[in-house]
Structure formats: C-alpha cells, structure tokens
Amino acid sequence: MRTVVVAGASLAGLRSVEELRKQGFDGRVVVIGEEVHAPYDRPPLSKAFLAGTLPAEELALAEQSDVDEWAAEWRLGVRAERVDPHAGEIHLSTGEIVRTDGLVIATGGRARTLPGTSALGGVHTLRTLDDAVALRADLRPGARVVVVGAGWIGAEVASTCRELGLDVTVAEAAPVPMERALGASLGRICADLHADHGVDLRLGVGVAGFTADGTRVNGVTLQDGSHLPADVVVAGVGMEPATGWLHGSGLPLDNGVLCDTGCVTPIPSVVAVGDVARYRTPEGRQVRHEHWTNASEQPVVAVRNLLAGTTLDTFRPSGYVWSDQYGVRLQLAGETSGADEIAMIDGSPDDRKFVAEFRRDGHAVGVLAMNNAKLFGRMRRRLSAAAGH
C-alpha cells in the first residue's frame, strides 16, 4: 500500500492520519476535507465557543508540530464526490482524480434540518464551526430562542442561550427527553434541569410549522396549536451520515457505510470510521455511534485492519458520552438502551450529584453520572473490564 486517502478531516479523519503514522505507514497520505478549516473540536461549539468564552483558535485538534510530522497532504475546502474502489480512484469536487491503494471513509454527517425552513432566515442547525459562528451572530441580546429537540445538542444550546440571558423554549416531540438513552426516570431529571433554569420546556408535542416576517422566521407553531414567538430557531434533531458521494461505488450503504466488526467494508482496502461507520458488533448487530469518543477510538482498529489487508482486530466501543449543561456535567458509558433496571448507587438526583447503574438480567451494562467524575471513572473501567476490553 503506497497511498491512503482519508476522506473527512474532522476528529475521525485526523485520528486516522495519526494512527497511520503511528502504526508505521510511511507512504503518501491525502486528506480530503469539505470544510475549509483545519481539524477542530466540535463539542465546544454548543458550549464555550457559542457562549463566546473560547476563541476559534483554541478549537484546533492537533498541534502544528504533530501535523508537520505526519506529513499528510491536506486538501481542505475540497469534496470527495465519487469513488471507484476497484480502480482505486477518488473523484474530487475540483475535477481532479486521486489514485489510491487504501481509503478511510470519515465523512461524518450532516445535521438534519426542519422541513420547510430551507429558505427561512434565523433557523439554524449546529454541527460545523460555520454553523456555530452563524448561530452566535444571531444570539443578540433580547432574542427569543426556540430549540427544537431536547437531545444532547438541543439541551446544550438551550443551556448556553440561558447563560447568555436569552428567553428559551425547548420543544420536544417525545414525552420525556433522552428517554431511549436514559430511561424515563433519568430522562425526567434532564427535563428538571431545563425547568430549573427558566426554560419553557414543551414535551410530547411536535412542530407543525413556522411563521415568518418576510424571509425571516418569527415563530414556531406546535401541533397542539400553540404559537411560540421566535427570533432564532435551532434544530437539534439529529444527523444523517454523509454517504451520498458513495452511491454507485458498490459499497453497501444503509444508514451509514456497512462494515464488519473491525470497521472494514467488503472491500478490504476500504474502511469506515466515526459517525458514518455502521459496523457489526460481535453479537451481529449493525450499529453506528455519533460520539466524539467513538470517532477518536475507531481509527486505531480500522487503520490496523486496513494496513493488514484483513480484519485482525475487533472494535469494542466504550460508549462514552459527556454533556455539560446548566452547570452540571453528565457522563454516560456502556449500553444503556437495553437495561431492565436502573439503580441509584450514589448520591441523589435532588442534589444534582449522583451515579446510576443500568442493569440487564442483574448485570451492569451502563452507568450515568451527574457531577461525579471520580466514581464514574471507576465504574466505567469496571464496565469495560467486564465486557472483556
């Protein structure tokens, strides 16, 4: 293998470059990144960066000295538009064709948008640095903000907007926020956090449409008929994996790039990592994670298998997610969605400091902590040890 193309220049792409060099690949590495920015850290975009307390320069994911040492060719502001894996050709938006022996697909995804808002000013999604810059510019003093979706991003944006002193309403179609990941009782604690901080939380009601003054949004109509005046609307309604450019490549696509237990596609010279990768678990399920830790961890295994030309290593996710909202830190690890029991093992939700264990058939499968990083760290380790990491 003489050339490897890494398609995608965010965390998963950057970590792939780092792993290629760490694991001894000394050939040509070409990174294709649609955004013009050098790899940056996304989690602060909904928090410190949006609040204006962290400048863009501090978002850089890598030190320049490391970037220099890796000696990759960075093609930023350029899209990979088509791939022919058998010919080993990547077609770029510039019209160029890059010939390659190996391909790491790390194209992530795009934020889902709200139907009927594409032409409306004041309606935002939040995934990229440019998104965050645009949203921040709209968060003027006195602005009324409606956040659609009370998931991680929605909750963090709502929290930051309250910190900025803005009026915030959060509309969530589900009866309890975060119910799938946290269960109803812990989900309700997340609802309480919104309420404690003066957010008007509307649960169990979907969005019916938008009202506008000219081309700019001025309100959100909910399915129960209520109307929320809004100067700014933020959609936190999830993301879609960026696989459009892979149509016609012969690679299997279904809500992501389908790959095996080691992030390898049916073509051994093509691997997928990060938000776009839908890999097979040892139990045979295809799963895709949309988390920072996953994007950071998968390249270790994917690159090893790519360089070996076969699946030597199996990816074992840590399932670790964190969120800072309303002055509390939430940390979650493991496989929480299949739990049949949730036990409070330390502290209490009322004190906003606790650790809860998720169990299935009496065995620990996940852990959620609020403001208790120390105990969380210990339990997370115990979980990975039990899972055979």
Unique residue bearing structure tokens 């900025």: 164
Residues 253-282 that bind another protein (CB under 8 A): none
Residue 347 touching another protein (CB under 8 A): no
Rounded-to-5 percentages of helix, strand, coil across the chain = 30, 35, 40
What six digits make up the tokens of 221? 């109509």
Q: Is 285 helix (H, G, I), strand (E, B) or coil?
A: coil
* Given 378, 382, 386, 389, the residue binding another protein (CB under 8 A): 378
Which DSSP string do the residues of 228-264 spell out, in sequence order?
Answer: EE-SEEEE---EEE--GGGTTSS--BSSSEE--TTSB
State the number of binding residues for another protein (CB under 8 A): 23
Residues 152-211 that bind another protein (CB under 8 A): none
Residue 334 touching another protein (CB under 8 A): no
> Minimum Å distance from CB 374 to another protein?
4
> Minimum Å distance from CB 63 to another protein?
5
**What gap in Å lies between CA 286 and CA 58, rounded to an integer?**
35
Which residue's CB is nearer to another protein, number 124 or number 291?
291
- CA distances in angstroms from 164 to 48, 159, 183, listed in the order given: 11, 9, 30
Which residue's CB is nearer to another protein, number 265 or number 296?
296
* Given 134, 184, 343, 373, the residue binding another protein (CB under 8 A): 373
Say if residues 247 and 224 touch (Cβ distance below 8 Å). no
* Given 63, 283, 351, 361, the residue binding another protein (CB under 8 A): 63
**What gap in Å lies between CA 322 and CA 59, rounded to an integer?**
17
Residue 351 touching another protein (CB under 8 A): no
Closest CA to 318 of 241, 363, 377: 377
* Given 1, 21, 41, 203, the residue binding another protein (CB under 8 A): 41
* Given 61, 103, 228, 300, the residue binding another protein (CB under 8 A): 61
| Binding region for another protein (CB under 8 A) | 15, 18, 41, 43-44, 48, 60-63, 292-293, 296, 322, 324, 329, 331, 373-374, 376-378, 381
